[in-house]
Amino acid sequence: MAEITAALVKELRERTGEGMMDCKKALTKAGGDIEKAIDDMRASGAIKAAKKAGNIAAEGAIAIKDNGKRAVLIEVNSQTDFLALQDDFKNFVASSVEKAFDQQDVTVEQLIEAQETERTALVAKVGENVNIRRLARVEGDVLGSYLHGNKIGVVVALKGGDAELAKDIAMHVAASNPEFLLPTDVSAEAIEREKNVFLQLNEDKLKGKPADIAEKMVAGRISKFLAEASLVEQAFVKNPEIKVGELAKKAGAEIVSFTYFKVGEGIEKPVDNFAEEVAAQVAASKQ
C-alpha cells in the first residue's frame, strides 16, 4: 500500500473538488492508488468526473515559434505569476525559443546549458528561480499554432488543408485538451476502466434488463467516452454541429498530430505547513 501523504490527498482534492477527509478515506480504501480512488468515487456517485492528472498549478510561460512547416514549443517556469508577466522574464523566454528554433537539433538539456548564463543573470536580478522545463518539436506538411495567453500552447500538424485550418484546430485543442487523436488510440485498459465505472454507477438501472439492452447501454457509454477523449470525434468548439475530424476531411485534410503544453502540467508545488514548521522550530530549540 502506497503512503497516504498530504500531497497525495491534496492532489485528489484538486482533481475532484471533494473534502480533505473524503479524499483521505478514498485513498486509504484504494491503497494509495489515486486513479482507483477517483474511479471508486465516481462509481459511488460522489463525483461525476475528475480533472486529468497534471492540472496542478505552477507558474511560467509557454512559447511557440513556427514557420508553417516546422515548430518548437517550450515551457519556462518561474516561482510566481508576477514574474511571468515581467519583461525580463518574457525576454528570456523569447531568446530561449528563438535559440531552440534556430538550432534545430538542440535538446532541452542543451538549451538549458546554452541559456545558463542568461538564466543565472535573470535569477540574480529578480531574486526568483527560473527554469527551462521542456521542449517539443513538430514538423509536417502544414502546421498551425495557438497560444492562449502565455499559459497554454498547441501545435497541430495536418496533411493537406492550410495553416488557418490548423490554427482553428489548435484553438479547439487548447479549449478541449483531448487525450487522444483517434478513438483507436484509446487503450483497452482505459476503455475497461470506463466500462467498470459505468457498470457500478448504473447497477440498479441494469438489474433485470435483457443482456442485449444492457450491452447497448454499455456500448453507448463507451462510444460517448471515445468521443470525449479523442480529438477527431469531439464537437468543434466554433461549430458544435460538426466534429473536428469531419471539419478536416471537408477541407481535404487529415490531422496527423497535436502537441499540447500547459504551464505547470505535472508539477506539484510544495505546500508550506505553518503549524509543522513552528513545531519543528520549537523542537529544535529544546535540543
Say yes or no: 71 and 9 in one domain. no
Say yes or no: 21 and 70 in one domain. no
Among all chains, which residue has been given the C-alpha cell 482553428? 168
pLDDT class of 54 with cuts at 50, 70, 90? very low
Chain-centroid distance, C-alpha 256: 19
pLDDT class of 8 with cuts at 50, 70, 90? confident
The Cα-based distances of 233 to 52, 185, 236, 255, 256 in angstroms read 19, 12, 9, 12, 14
- 202-244: pLDDT as tens digits: 777 777 777 777 778 878 888 888 888 899 999 999 999 999 9
Mean pLDDT score, 106-113: 94
Lowest mean pLDDT among 7-11, 52-56, 123-127: 52-56
- 19-48: pLDDT as tens digits: 778 888 899 999 999 888 888 888 887 766
- 134-170: pLDDT as tens digits: 999 999 999 999 999 999 999 999 999 999 999 999 9
- 112-122: pLDDT as tens digits: 999 999 998 99
> How much is the pTM?
0.69
Say yes or no: 96 and 8 in one domain. no
What share of the chain has pLDDT > 70, as a percent? 88
Q: How many angstroms separate the CA atoms of 77 and 60, rounded?
A: 4
What is the total count of domains within the chain? 2
Amino acid 20: pLDDT? 78
End-to-end CA distance of the chain: 35
Say yes or no: 67 and 173 in one domain. yes
Asked if the structure places residue 186 within a domain, the reply is: no
Say yes or no: 32 and 112 in one domain. no
Asked if the structure places residue 286 within a domain, the reply is: no
Cα torsion 255, 256, 258, 259 to 10°: value is -160
Q: Residue 62: pLDDT above 70?
A: yes
**Burial class of 212 by CB neighbour count within 10 A (0 to 12, 13 to 18, 19+):** exposed
The count of other CB atoms within 10 Å of the CB of residue 244 is 26
Asked if the structure places residue 129 within a domain, the reply is: yes
Say yes or no: 83 and 128 in one domain. yes
Q: Can you list the positions of beta strands (E) in the chain? A: 59-66, 70-78, 130-139, 142-148, 152-159, 235-236, 239-243, 254-262
Asked if the structure places residue 199 within a domain, the reply is: no
Q: Residue 273: pLDDT above 60?
A: no
Mean pLDDT score, 238-264: 96
Q: Which amino acid is at 41?
A: M
Among all chains, which residue has been given the C-alpha cell 468548439? 237
Amino acid 181: pLDDT? 96
Say yes or no: 66 and 152 in one domain. yes
Say yes or no: 44 and 95 in one domain. no
Contacts with 5 (C-beta within 8 Å, 6 or more apart), sequence order: none
pLDDT class of 51 with cuts at 50, 70, 90? low
The CATH number of residue 1's host domain is 1.10.8.10
The count of other CB atoms within 10 Å of the CB of residue 35 is 13
Say yes or no: 113 and 155 in one domain. yes
Say yes or no: 17 and 136 in one domain. no
CA R_g for the chain = 23
Q: Residue 251: pLDDT above 70?
A: yes
Asked if the structure places residue 185 within a domain, the reply is: no
* The domain boundary residue, chosen from 56, 78, 98: 56
Say yes or no: 64 and 173 in one domain. yes
Q: What is the mean pLDDT of the chain?
A: 86
Say yes or no: 42 and 104 in one domain. no
Amino acid 212: pLDDT? 77
Per the structure, the complete domain to which residue 45 belongs is given by: 1-56
Q: Residue 72: pLDDT above 90?
A: yes
Amino acid 18: pLDDT? 77
Q: Which amino acid is at 139?
A: E
What share of the chain has pLDDT > 90, as a percent? 51
Largest CA distance in the chain: 75
Q: What is the 3-state secondary structure (H, E, C) of 193-204?
A: HHHHHHHHHCHH
Q: Residue 283: pLDDT above 60?
A: no
The count of other CB atoms within 10 Å of the CB of residue 131 is 13
